[in-house]
A and B are shown apart, each in its own frame.
Chain A
């Protein structure tokens, strides 16, 4: 029986964000936007979805009078990502 791929993660931009965040302790919003080649508006919406699912923590503060948003993957997010990768491996093994 195959595990269903987590719909929160099975989307291009959200998966890209989670893949970035899994590799770092924390990352600024601008860094994620730059690496994912996304627009600020779209990225905000997708990060909010990840936040609502409890997969990322978002900290908003000010740096040199400019707003600074920092994102960090949560334990729940790490578990979800690991499950997603495991499920992906199952699908890929069958496809061989």
Chain B
């Protein structure tokens, strides 16, 4: 392509159309990450089903640990793909944000599942309560490990998802900070009672949406005034 050629309006339009079209055909998803996670999660799910159905033990080894191990090849794949990538589209950038936040949320849920039983027992223990269960057939009494489900904690994860995705995709710091704080509030909510969960929900609403919303409103009004 030469530089100083005198362009007609039609030629200009043709260049614009041609270049935008060239970009459209330049990016193809390799599918490697999807294959990796599809295989790992698929295997873990099916293995857990077979294990429950045939009632056998794998000792200390939980097959779902494989999902943690799979993070290693995922990191390698991500580095390799980012090295090979010559362009970053807006769509790809937004999709990266979606999958990153999805990953964080999955780990937040895993954290919730592991922490809540111990916290639930502590709540009862504080009131001097120990829960027991009795086997009707044998009469055997054993400790019952409660799991106090807190929907507020789950809601906090849900609040964080769209905020952090929007913040990352649009590079809007108030929403990135809001989303991160919301995940931190989720961690706190795993250890406190329902009453404090409500306080955390209120804080999350203010930090997650109200403050970024006011900043956006301010920017919008400034833009309108110009």
Q: List chain A positions with a Cβ less than 8 A from chain B.
A: 5, 10-16, 19-20, 22-28, 30-31, 35-38, 42, 45-46, 63-64, 84-85, 88, 91-92, 95
Contacts and interface: CB of A to CB of B under 8 A. Distances in A.
Interface in B170-223: none
Contact of B13 (A12, A14, A45, A92): A92
B87 A13 contact: no
B7 A63 contact: no
Interface of B: 1-5, 7, 9-13, 15-16, 18-20, 22-24, 26, 83, 86-90, 92-93
Given A15-B7, A19-B20, A31 B86 contact: yes
A12 B5 CA distance: 7
Nearest to B5: A12
A40 to B, nearest CB: 13
A36 B20 CA distance: 11
Given A38-B1, A46-B3, A19 B10 contact: no
Given A12-B5, A36-B1, A88-B13, A20 B88 contact: no
Given A26-B88, A95-B9, 10 more contacts: A10-B12, A12-B15, A19-B20, A20-B22, A22-B20, A25-B90, A38-B1, A46-B3, A92-B10, A92-B13
Nearest to B89: A24
Contacts of A27: 86-88
A11 B3 contact: yes
A95 B13 CA distance: 13
Contacts of A38: 1
